[in-house]
Structure formats: structure tokens, C-alpha cells
Amino acid sequence: MSGYAGNTLRQNLIYDNEGGGIVLTDGGNNGAAPPVITSVSATGVSGTSCPACEVEVFSDSAGEGQIFEGSTFADASGAFRFYKGSYLIGPKITATATDSQGNSSGLSAPKAFPSSFPGDVNEDGAISLADAILALQILAGINTAGQTLIRYADVTGDGKIGMAEAIYILQKAAGIR
């Protein structure tokens, strides 16, 4: 977009472009800055944007905006947190921001899912006692919300956290495996 303001882009599917999904030039949309994604998990995104702006989250394999994941609003300081409630499609996540005057930004720099691996229940990049505790809570039915956090934690490939995962995690945390 070039030279004009108030161009609102919402829930668009933007992909397969050579020069990026949405690019603002020559002061288009008053040069609205894209959000900065600081963290991505299997189910959520957080970062910074213009204060009180609506942030729309997208995913695809190229880092453009093929799949609309949902939206949230940044707080008065510009911080935002989006939680989908199910898995993001990914593997790359981007976002746009729209201010109260309807100026939508270009797409943010893409951020990839964290490199998580089997047994990493809390997706912090390491297998520890904390993962074992979460796995046992899920197994015992104490932490049912944790079921949405097992995208990369499944050791056996059955899509569940079970006794095999708990034993594997405890062995890894103890340095036996």
C-alpha cells in the first residue's frame, strides 16, 4: 500500500508473494509499524504492538499470512498475548496490527515454533522434573488443561501423555537415558 491512510486489512489470506505478504511504502497507512512477536508456543503468541491496537495472528510455511489464527488487543503499553485454545497451524507465525483509525500494518517478521522434542511437556526446550510433574498431573487427570500442551511431548506417537511418557521423562531428567 502506498501513500494513503485508513486502509484496514482484516482476516485476509495473504500468501505466495515474491516481495512479502503486506508491504507498506511511501507512508501508506501512516507507516503503521508491524507487531514484534517475542514468543511462540504450540497454542499461543505474545509480543508488542501499538498500544490498544488489534493484533491479528496468521500462520503458514513461508512466513506470510495464509491461515488466520485469530486476534487479540494490545494493552495500553502495547503488550499483547494471543491464546488460541488449540494448536496453531504454523510452522511460522506472523501478525498485523490495526490502530483505532483503521491503519493496518504490514506483516511482522515471521517467528517459528520453538524447537521442542518428545518429553518436553512444558515446551521450554529442556526435559526436567517440571515436565515429569506435568506429565504425571495429566496422567492422573489433575491437569486437564495440560492436554493442549502436548504437541511435541508425545514420546510414543499416540497423541497422549501416558505412563510411557512419564517414565521416559523421569529417566531423561535423571540422566539415565
CATH number of the domain that residue 43 is part of: 2.60.40.10
Q: What is the pLDDT of residue 147?
A: 47
What is the dihedral sign for C-alpha 120, 124, 128, 132? negative
Q: What is the pLDDT of residue 154?
A: 73
Show the domain range for 37: 28-112
- Looking at the domain assignment, is residue 107 inside a domain? yes
- Looking at the domain assignment, is residue 119 inside a domain? no
Alpha-carbon gap, residue 125 to 47, rounded angstroms: 19
Is there a single domain that holds both residue 102 and residue 73?
yes
Is there a single domain that holds both residue 34 and residue 91?
yes
Is there a single domain that holds both residue 95 and residue 136?
no
Q: What is the pLDDT of residue 1?
A: 44
Selection from 16, 40, 44, 14 nearest residue 106 by Cα: 14
The whole-chain average pLDDT of the chain stands at: 79
Alpha-carbon gap, residue 141 to 73, rounded angstroms: 33
| 56-67 mean pLDDT | 86
Report pTM.
0.62
Q: How many other CB atoms sit within 10 Å of the CB of residue 42? A: 19
177 vs 135, more confident: 135
Whole-number CA gyration radius for the chain: 19
Assign 43 to helix, strand or coil: coil
Would you call 95 exposed, middle or buried from its count of C-beta atoms within 10 A (0-12, 13-18, 19+)? Answer: buried
- Looking at the domain assignment, is residue 139 inside a domain? yes
Is there a single domain that holds both residue 93 and residue 34?
yes
Alpha-carbon gap, residue 117 to 123, rounded angstroms: 8
| 92-121 mean pLDDT | 84
Is there a single domain that holds both residue 33 and residue 90?
yes
| 13-40 mean pLDDT | 72
> 70 with 82: CB under 8 angstroms?
yes
Is there a single domain that holds both residue 88 and residue 55?
yes
The CA distances from residue 161 to 78, 136, 158, 175, in Å, are 36, 8, 8, 20
